[in-house]
Chain A
Amino acid sequence: MKNLFKKIIFLLILLPILSFGQINQKVWYDGNSRAMFYRDALSGDLKDIDTTSTRSEGEGYTAIDLGMHFTPNDQIEIFSEIRVKNDFGYMWGSGAYVDLRRLSVRGILNDRISFNLGDMYLKQTPFTLNNFDQELLKHEPSVFQAYRDLINYENFYLDNYWRMQGLQTNFSYTFYNAINSFEADMFASRVRGVQWLGEPELLMLGGTSLIKLENSLVFAINHVNSFEVQSSSLDTATYYNPVTNLQLKYAKKINSLTYRLSLDFGGSIRGWEKNNGSTIFETSGGFVKAKLKAAAKNLKSSVSFRYVDPEFRSAGSQSRRVNYISSPSTYAYYTNNSILRPVSMLDITSDPNIYNHKLSTSLMQYNTLYSAISPYGEATPNRAGVDFLFDYKNDEGSVLAIADIAFFQEIIGQGTEEKRSMLSSGLSFTAHIDKITGLKNKTMFEASLNTEAVNRGGSELESISFNSLLLSAGLSYELFHNFKIISGIKSFSGKGNEVGAQRDEYDQIVGYELLDFDSKEDILMLGLQYNFTKDIYFSLQTNQIDIDDRTNEISKLSLSRIYFMFNMNL
């Protein structure tokens, strides 16, 4: 009897396991890992003057993001990523955290319609939904990869996608007539949840429909609508912001050149609606963008024209990455007055904690010093202008050169009938010296130069003259296989005057701030890096950081930094 009972128990335990195996379930794992440590020490004049800040400070952690993929059948995948993080300097788990980093379910219905539920990455056009790059990143040398990877990974920045939560679905049909194919992509996302006695819930609905014709013509319509749910809050007014972008694309090959012509146009409405249906404040604006690309074997070039109305507003495409209303990780408070240190190139380059993850319903603050021309990416309102881009690569791929120049003008003057004219240019050069000279060890040199110039005529009060220059360079030399010595510099300087706009809750300009700049910032880097693969590497480097705002006696900072990072992305 005892044996029979044991057998029944054994069967009860075993049966679910047996049935589990019968439906061909699969669980597999992947993950990313990072160990990071930095230590900053005050140097330069501030070391002697500032007697209230610590002489040095730093932090570090080890983090493992364990991804679990569960596929109950071949049409559904459940994915979760759990972060286990342990700050350096703690014992027995006191500085350890376990967080759910990502959770999603994706699958395909009837082999036709795919869906994604939970965490998802969304992107449309630069005018509807686009997570445009942060300032001071353009043509950044690869020797700064360790910082860049850290910022992108920790903030879920994947190309120019926004990481959101909700439901996404898409499907496509292929035809065999004048229409080649039809594709549709739709999503519903919850941008902001319910807050206790706070702002209402913010949702975003959107979709893209695309028709490809057999004569290389593509028509597309992109639409997003972000809106607050009135019933989810005690607020008397709720926000709405539908944006539409129509696209026409045409490609043709003539001789050895491939031409691509694209035309984008559309508009936005943004307002606040009261409970009774009346509108408190509403603005609308349009945009047009035309781009012509020509590609040959070694040279790619493009010319584009852009016009964005002063009242064009798009939460999905104008939300910025850098949040200037945040305190930096490194020496957040400094000087004997313990003042909050403003976000600078140092933080933009190396601090993941000053970055924003959420769409903003109003134009976020920016620093004119670092981003005077396109603070809201391509969707920056009140701009009309052209830009040119040339991209050259030699046959061997040993020399790459990129040059761009853009000229923009305001459509309407801010505070004056005089309008700003803006000129930006960039030049990037990459040389694989080993390929050119026949050197045995891999050696790469990168250099880039980016300038911004803003000018406005008029009286002494109205006139603006501002120039900035970002100079970057990097050199890497392979000591032995996959182990290289790296060095680099990022040097930024900005000088001149500008007029900053102060906006109210509806983004209308209500005042100005007269700004004077005379600033120089440098990051010098020297280190070692071993690459197991492109995305698995460790980097040990020392940095010398200098910030010198010459308009303000106390805004100076010099730091010496030791930085280590092991990065593993699978």
Chain B
Amino acid sequence: MKKLTYLFLLASISFLSCEKEGIEGPNLNDLFGELNIIEEFQIINDSASFNTESAYFTAKFSKIVDWKISITGISSGAQKVILGKSNEINATNSLWRGEVTTLPFFKEENCSVLLTFPSHNDTISRSYRINTAKTYGNGSELVVSDFENGFNPNFTNFFQSTCLKKIETGSAGQSDRYLVQEGTCDWDWLIGYIDYPTNHWYQQGTLNANPENVYFNIMINGDSTLSPTNEANSLFKLEFYEDENQDGYYDPNTEDRLEVEFDVDWNGWKMVSYKYSDLILAWNSGGNAIREPNKIIKFRTLLLANPESGFAKADVDYIVWSEGSSILNQ
């Protein structure tokens, strides 16, 4: 019995020393502790040329915290936002290759950099210089038009008499110039359309035959606040025409037309990207129903609006085909 008692006490003491590593649940300090900056917020290098370089930020905090780095181009108004939740900002969670979150694209310009914390009032500001702006694409892209050289007269088009299209300088999505499309038409849904024939694209080439690999990208500047009801008033439609028999003409009875349409329910520039395989076959499409981007003969952009709802606007810039992913992801 004595032995059993000793055994009992020994087992008790040995188990009492049982402790597990780590903690259960989130760290108390992260949830309720004060935020202290242990290492100052810094930008590695004061400037960068994003054709060859990248930038990143560093800082250390007293706790794991949600943080937000906002980089705003002072001239362009472009913005890049980097979000994170950690007690340290470093190259792995803050690498910036010059890409943009909110259009337009960055230019060669000075930027303001703000570090903020959604659940704290602290704000730290820095400045940064972009020597060379990032160029998008992986080398396989085809630019249809960026309107820097004006409107290509070979892009056949039609706009209602009360509506217009024009090239504007300044406040462009990319570089300096863009195409304005706007107006009011109280007798028809169509504000205007433009055809972009393949043989008049800015960059010539053949698109990849795999529809899973081909992306259509177009910058659109919306202004839904112009609608009387402060709601999306502009409807944008894209139509893609395939010349399946390669005879140089599109025959609606024997060849495919693919399309997609969406509300322009945002303000400012936005890059709209569609994978070719996601496009919808038009209801009266007469072709083989196979999506063949390499056989596109032209595409058409249409700006539509309810005749009863008044003014519509959807400016356009930087129309480009990309391969592998949407252009902003390259």
Q: Which residues of A contact B (CB under 8 A)?
A: 250, 252, 254, 259, 261, 288, 290, 292, 303, 305, 307, 310, 382, 384-386, 409, 411-417, 419, 459, 461-462, 499, 501, 508-512, 514
User: How far, in angstroms, from A379 to B16 measured CA to CA in the complex?
Assistant: 16
- 14 A-B contacts (beta carbon < 8 Å): A288-B11, A290-B8, A303-B8, A305-B12, A305-B16, A386-B12, A412-B20, A412-B22, A415-B23, A415-B24, A415-B27, A461-B29, A509-B24, A511-B31
- A459 near B29 with CB under 8 A, answer yes
- B16 near A384 with CB under 8 A, answer yes
- B29 near A416 with CB under 8 A, answer yes
Measured CB to CB, the nearest residue on chain A to B25 is: A509
- A252 near B19 with CB under 8 A, answer no
B33 at the interface (CB under 8 A from A): yes
- B23 near A417 with CB under 8 A, answer yes
- B5 near A292 with CB under 8 A, answer yes
Measured CB to CB, the nearest residue on chain B to A408 is: B16
Minimal beta-carbon separation of B116 from chain A (angstroms): 23
Measured CB to CB, the nearest residue on chain B to A508 is: B25
Task: Report A-chain residues with C-beta under 8 Å of the C-beta of B33.
Answer: 459, 461
Task: Report A-chain residues with C-beta under 8 Å of the C-beta of B11.
Answer: 288, 290, 305
Measured CB to CB, the nearest residue on chain A to B5 is: A292
Minimal beta-carbon separation of B3 from chain A (angstroms): 11
In B1-45, which residues have CB < 8 Å from any A CB? 1, 4-5, 8, 11-12, 15-16, 18-29, 31-33
Partner of A412, one of B4, B23, B26: B23
User: How far, in angstroms, from A441 to B198 measured CA to CA in the complex?
Assistant: 113
Task: Report B-chain residues with C-beta under 8 Å of the C-beta of A384.
Answer: 15-16, 18
- A512 near B19 with CB under 8 A, answer no
- B18 near A510 with CB under 8 A, answer no
Task: Report A-chain residues with C-beta under 8 Å of the C-beta of B5.
Answer: 292
User: How far, in angstroms, from A252 to B4 measured CA to CA in the complex?
Assistant: 11
- A415 near B15 with CB under 8 A, answer no
Partner of B27, one of A292, A310, A416: A416
- Assuming the A-B contacts A290-B11, A416-B29, A510-B25, are A261 and B4 also in contact, with contact meaning beta carbons closer than 8 angstroms in the complex? yes
Measured CB to CB, the nearest residue on chain B to A386 is: B12
User: How far, in angstroms, from A301 to B90 measured CA to CA in the complex?
Assistant: 61
Partner of A512, one of B8, B12, B20, B28: B28
Task: Report A-chain residues with C-beta under 8 Å of the C-beta of B1.
Answer: 252, 254, 259
A252, A259, A310, A416: which has the most chain B beta carbons within 10 Å?
A416
User: How far, in angstroms, from A510 to B31 measured CA to CA in the complex?
Assistant: 10
Task: Report A-chain residues with C-beta under 8 Å of the C-beta of B31.
Answer: 415, 511-512
Minimal beta-carbon separation of B175 from chain A (angstroms): 48
- A415 near B20 with CB under 8 A, answer no
- A462 near B28 with CB under 8 A, answer yes
Measured CB to CB, the nearest residue on chain A to B22 is: A412
- A512 near B29 with CB under 8 A, answer no
